[in-house]
Amino acid sequence: MPDFRNYLALLDRVDRLCSRTAERFGAEISCRPGCDACCRHLSICAVEAAALREALHALPEAEAAFIARRAQPAGPDAPCPLLHDELCLLYRARPIICRTHGLPLLIHRDGANGVDFCPENFRGLSSIPGSDVIDLERLNAMLSAISAVYLAGRPGPERLTVAQALTLPYPFSQGDTNGCS
């Protein structure tokens, strides 16, 4: 089994921050089960793809086969192949972008900083405390570093789509060229 300690430590930090923000601003956050407008078919880094594969293969065979079949035809502009009946089929293993989507993110664009979040959230607020804003550039840098360490010595792509992660063969050998073993 791959070593996911660094990735799991980052997930723990992200989940604690997201939970704290959700507790503080529960009335201003409309994200709930069934709210799936942001659930698009995304690309994820190699360590996240490997973690999704591990979660998929930990499921009972019938559930894993159902998810793998859903991922087969998933195109780049399609909803996420894990989205079924308005819920994520691998919610506990969802990538970081899914965990943070909708929450306040510090975005660096064109030399300026701004805060972005789902337009359905935080409607009545004039400001959000900095301690509740996720620095997306910093988070992505940490995730990229963790994925680079994970990929060290493993040939393959740095990013894969969710569908690619769900349809790669399992188990994996050291000689795999998919970048996620």
Q: If we measure between CA atoms, which residue out of 181, 149, 153, 152 comes closest to residue 168? A: 181
pLDDT at 11: 97
Q: pLDDT tens-digit profile of 20-50?
A: 998 999 888 888 887 888 888 889 999 999 9
pLDDT at 170: 66
| Low-confidence residues of the chain: pLDDT under 50 | 172-181
Residue reference for tokens 């996420």? 80
pLDDT at 2: 66
pLDDT at 175: 37
Q: If we measure between CA atoms, which residue out of 164, 171, 173 comes closest to residue 75? A: 164
Q: pLDDT tens-digit profile of 107-120?
A: 988 989 989 998 88
Q: Cβ(95)–Cβ(126) under 8 Å?
A: no
pLDDT at 171: 55
Q: Model's pTM, two decimal places?
A: 0.85
Which sequence spans correspond to the domains of the chain?
Answer: 5-167
